[in-house]
Amino acid sequence: MTIEYRQITDAEQRQFWKVVARGFGGHYTAGQENYRIDRELLPPATTMCAIEEREIVGTSASLPFESAVPGGAIVKNAGVTAVTVATTHRRQGLLNNMMLRLLRQEREKDQPVASLWASESIIYSRYGFGISIQHENFLIDTRKAAIKHSPEIPGKIRFISGDEARKVLPAAWEAAVQANVGIPRKNAAAWDHYMLDVNSGSGDWGKPWLIVYEEDGKALGYAKYLLKEAHVFGEKTHGMINADHVIHSNAASHAALWNHLLNVDLYDSLSTWCSPSDDSLPWMLDDPRQLQRKPYDGVWYRLLDVAEALAARTYLAEGSLVLEVEDSLVPEWGGRFELDGGSGGATCVATTKPADVTLPTASLATIYLGGAKLADLHRAGRVEENTAGSVALADAMFTTVRAPWCPMMF
């Protein structure tokens, strides 16, 4: 039985989506409109599948993202998604073969980095992915969480309907894309997909509420939240708010949105799943311990073109470093690179000079957006320091004043 690895054809699209859904434990029940959007999101040219006698047994694909790196440049970013292997075809190398081909295919499209959300955190380091963006889950009893510190809020919050949202949310999202490192731009299909969610309820949570924060008529942030009542002995005890998306692009939008969410009458158990790891909410509260915080790995990055990726960002401290990057999956993507960087920009070129640090490509991806320190990876044995002080220099260069953030699962 031979397995071929290739993009799907137009005729194989419904089968593709069925197999993807099954891989994540569900049946594919999308209606006509949903199916249209799905096909637009992942056209055949974005896929890489394992196919055995016309039967799709492994799937992977990549969304053509663009997102900011430190310094504000927007780079192409392959958003890896829909990765599944059929339970019937475990341990036959399908994932290895698909990932290798998918990453090669995406590099051909001049994308210097790839990124993904991992279904399990044990899988992707072997393909050179490292945890680049970490997030926190929040759980707050809003009755006990008063805001004590706040920036000035010149703008206003208002509720918006689903119809208006399709116009307003993309503007707020774009503001967030430009103000933060790591948030992918969304195309029309992605917004259409999002609107399916906005316009439908989700189980007993009901239909989401949308609020937008505006200054001078410009949308700078929005939140989407769901409400659920809880009853004990027929009495309403407390209501739950699930703040599904809290998207902000400046201090005022952040403060205004959280102020709203902390003050929804009758709903006092507030949870959210994707705050930046350095969210300022704890520093705004009178009693920060009322905010329970649970960190987790968010987005994993993979460098497809080390030189281009490193040259795209700026660095907080001026410096020059020779990095020996080990890429065990695609050895020719690794090598020795000389990085010269500072607050104005950087160059990064192949070199034969001796390396200051030697590290696997996943470790470099981990520090790429400023979301982790090389010193921590060094203590874990994930980088070798050949020149004393070079780990500290790397951290002084790669550090960013704010942590990267990606409030969008894909």
Partner 1 sequence: MTIELRQVTDDNFTEWRRAVRRGFGEHVHPDDIARLRDHRVEIDRLMAAVDSRSERIVGTAGADSYSLTVPGGATVPMAGVAYMTTSVTHRRQGAFSGMMTRLHESARERGDIVSGLWASQAHLYGRFDYGLAVSSYNWTIDPRFGAFAHSPEPVEPAEAGSQVYFVDAEEAAVILPDIYDQMRQQTPGAVDRNAGRWQYGLFDEERVRDGASALFFAVCEEGGEQTGYVTYRMRRKGDSDMGTLQVEEQVSTTDTAHAVLWRFLLNFDLVGKITAENRPADDPLWWILSDPRRLNRKSHDSLWIRLLDVVKLLEAREYNANGRLKIGVVSESQPEVAGTYVLDVEDSQASVKKTTEKPDVIMTPGDLAALYLGGTTPGPLVEAGRIDAVAPGSLARLHGMFATDTAPWCTHYF
Active site residues: 124, 410
Alpha carbon of 146 to those of 79, 120, 360: distances in Å? 38, 36, 45
Alpha carbon of 389 to those of 359, 375, 382, 394: distances in Å? 15, 10, 16, 9
Stretch in the footprint of partner 1 (CB under 8 A) among 24-32, 95-103, 186-194, 387-395: 387-395
Output Rg (C-alpha) for the chain, integer angstroms. 22
CA distance 66 to 77: 5
With CA atoms as reference, report the closest residue to 205 among 230, 186, 187, 176. 230
- Give the type of residue at 151: P
- Give the type of residue at 196: L
Packing angle, helices 32-41 and 188-198, rounded to 10:
150
Q: Which of 287, 349, 350, 354 binds partner 1 (CB under 8 A)?
A: 287
Q: Which of 104, 166, 293, 336 binds partner 1 (CB under 8 A)?
A: 293
CA distance 229 to 240: 6
- What's CA 370's distance to the chain center, in Å? 14
With CA atoms as reference, report the closest residue to 363 among 122, 135, 128, 67. 128
Q: Which of residues 305-364 bind partner 1 (CB under 8 A)?
A: 316-317, 343
Asked if 64 and 109 touch (Cβ cutoff 8 Å), the reply is yes
Contacts of 93 (CB under 8 A, 6+ apart): none
Compute the least distance from the CB of residue 258 to partner 1, in Å: 10
With CA atoms as reference, report the closest residue to 301 among 173, 118, 55. 118
Assigned token pair, 131: 């945890």
Per CB under 8 A, does 229 bind partner 1?
Answer: no
Per CB under 8 A, does 282 bind partner 1?
Answer: yes
Compute the least distance from the CB of residue 295 to partner 1, in Å: 6
CA distance 112 to 103: 10
Compute the least distance from the CB of residue 250 to partner 1, in Å: 8
Q: Which of 60, 132, 180, 280 binds partner 1 (CB under 8 A)?
A: 280
Three-state DSSP class for residue 244:
strand
Stretch in the footprint of partner 1 (CB under 8 A) among 21-29, 144-152, 169-177, 183-191: 144-152
Per CB under 8 A, does 152 bind partner 1?
Answer: yes
Per CB under 8 A, does 388 bind partner 1?
Answer: no
Residue window 94-123: x/- pattern of binding to partner 1, with contact defined by CB under 8 A = --------------------------xxx-
Q: Which of 4, 26, 296, 350 binds partner 1 (CB under 8 A)?
A: 296
Q: Which of residues 230-269 bind partner 1 (CB under 8 A)?
A: 251, 254-255
Per CB under 8 A, does 401 bind partner 1?
Answer: yes
CA distance 92 to 227: 45
Helices (H), 73-120: 94-108
Per CB under 8 A, does 402 bind partner 1?
Answer: yes
Stretch in the footprint of partner 1 (CB under 8 A) among 27-35, 109-117, 149-157, 180-188: 149-157
Q: Between 42 and 145, whose beta carbon lies closer to partner 1?
A: 145
Compute the least distance from the CB of residue 341 to partner 1, in Å: 14
Asked if 102 and 48 touch (Cβ cutoff 8 Å), the reply is yes
Q: Which of 23, 151, 335, 345 binds partner 1 (CB under 8 A)?
A: 151
Q: Which of 52, 141, 192, 278 binds partner 1 (CB under 8 A)?
A: 278
Stretch in the footprint of partner 1 (CB under 8 A) among 4-12, 14-22, 287-295, 302-310: 287-295
Beta-carbon-side half-sphere exposure of residue 238 (alpha carbons within 13 Å): 10
Strand partners, 232: 235
Q: Between 246 and 316, whose beta carbon lies closer to partner 1?
A: 316
Q: Between 308 and 376, whose beta carbon lies closer to partner 1?
A: 376
Q: Which of 377, 385, 404, 408 binds partner 1 (CB under 8 A)?
A: 377
CA distance 8 to 39: 12
Q: Between 336 and 382, whose beta carbon lies closer to partner 1?
A: 382
CA distance 219 to 359: 42
Per CB under 8 A, does 157 bind partner 1?
Answer: no
Per CB under 8 A, does 149 bind partner 1?
Answer: yes
Compute the least distance from the CB of residue 344 to partner 1, in Å: 12
Residues near partner 1, by CB under 8 A: 120-122, 125, 131, 136, 148-152, 251, 254-255, 278-284, 286-290, 292-297, 316-317, 343, 372-373, 375-382, 391-392, 395-396, 399, 401-402
